[in-house]
Structure 1
Amino acid sequence: MKKITLIILFLALLFTFPTTYAQDKEKPIVEVEAVDLGEVNDAFQEHFFEALKQKAIENYEKAIDELVQSLAIDDQPVVYLELGKNHNALQKYTQAAAYLEKGRAALPKNTAILEELYKSYFLSEEFGKALPVVKTLATISPSFSEDLANLYILNEKYEEAISLLDSLDAKKGSSTNRDSLRRQVYARTNNVEAQIQDLESKIAEDPEDERNYLNLIFVYSENGRAEEAFEAAKQLLEKKPSSELVHLALYKFYLNENKTEEAVNSLRIVLGSDQVDEVTKYQALNDFLMFVAENPSLEEDLIDLVKVFSEDENNTKVYKQLGTFFLEKRKTEPALKYFQLALESSKADFGLYKELISLQLEFGKYSEAIEVSGNAIEIFPAQPLLYLYKGRAQNRSGNFSEAEETLMMGLDFIIDDPVMEKEFYGEMAKTYEGLQKPEKASEYLKKADELEKTK
Structure 2
Amino acid sequence: MKGKVWIIRAFSLGILLFSVVSFAQTEPDSIAVAKNEFEEHFFEALKQKGIENYDKAIPELEKCLKTEPNNPVLYHELGKNWLALKKYPEAQRAFQKAVDLNPKERWYWNGLYDVFYETKDYPQSIVVVQKLIEFDKNFQDDLVSLYMYTRQFDKALALIEEMERTSNISQMMETYKLQILSENQSKKPEKEQLEAAIVKFPQVEENYIQLIYLYSESNQEEKAMEVARKLEKNIPNSDWAQVSLFKFHLNNGNGEKAAQAMHLVLNSSKIERKIKHRILNEFLIFVNNTNTFDKELDKAVDYFDDDTSVNVAKEIGIFFLNKKKSDKAIHYFEKSLLKQKDDILVIELLLEAYAEKNQFDKVSRKAEDFLELYPTHARLYFYAGMAQNQMKNYKKAIGILNSGMDFVAGDIDLEINFNIQLGEAYNGLGDQTKKYTYFNKAEQLLKQKK
Q: TM-score, normalised by structure 2?
A: 0.50
- Larger Rg belongs to: 1
Select the structure that is richer in strand.
1
Name which structure has the greater RCO, CA cutoff 8 Å, separation 6+: 2
